A = this chain, B = another copy of it.
């Protein structure tokens, strides 16, 4: 099957970015959300990205303008999915909500539609059966779309192999590097490594082995990269980092979560609040 029409569920940060890249890649895109105000925010976000893409000469003004003609927003979910060859769902990371959304999609989407979730932490097997057509369901997880151009394809045991193949092709058309998981794994591939690395940095800090700056320097100078673990945590957001870390069972994670909580409680959420481990 050929994908032409794309339905995005949720006009948040990632939903908007996926929608825009899909429109840039030549697809017709409908973005559904329950709140009209989220469309204004989404449009502003996309306009900003568009300016950056033109400034860095990745796309012409003409290509951007054409992409906008292929992108529309709707508060009507039936309209959003009526023609959809594929759905990419980026609604709030809440299991019950996602199950409800996928139950509804199973009722109203055409038979041809491929169902994908952009969930960060849930497993597709926790959602697949709610669709009524689990073989068409797969996790299709973006990182940032425009900077970190990688997409995880994580099937559940009942996903049709043809769906995986279609998603690999679709991922490439969206200018992402597709990677395929051979089995379900919390945190996909990258996050599993990132969490271990950041956790080790947190352990060094909690155990007072070295300063934030010296831990970051050790990583940056060795790997010739612009950010160390604490700068990365600031960019992720210390509230998000706390949310993930405090759920981990080991003592080191608990201790690091407690430290992160002191920053969050002080309103130091990282880059977005102007201060975290560093000031911005």
Using a CB–CB distance below 8 Å, which chain A residues touch chain B? 143, 148-150, 152, 177, 179-183, 185, 188-190, 192-197, 199-201, 203-204, 207-211, 214-215, 217-219, 221-223, 225, 229
Contact = CB atoms under 8 A, between A and B. Distances in A.
A107 to B, nearest CB: 33
Contact of A204 (B150, B180, B189, B199): B189
Given A182-B208, A204-B193, A225 B223 contact: yes
Contacts of A229: 193
A193 B189 contact: no
How many subunits of this chain does the assembly comprise? Answer: 2
A204 B192 contact: yes
A214 B189 contact: yes
Nearest to A183: B209
A152 to B, nearest CB: 8
A218 B190 contact: yes
Contacts of A150: 217-218, 221-222
A213 to B, nearest CB: 8
13 contacts: A148-B222, A150-B217, A180-B214, A181-B209, A182-B209, A183-B208, A183-B209, A190-B222, A193-B204, A193-B215, A194-B222, A195-B200, A223-B225
Given A148-B221, A193-B219, 8 more contacts: A181-B209, A182-B210, A185-B207, A188-B218, A193-B201, A196-B197, A196-B200, A197-B197
A165 to B, nearest CB: 15
In order of increasing CB-CB distance, the 5 nearest A-B pairs are: A196-B200, A179-B214, A197-B197, A189-B218, A190-B218
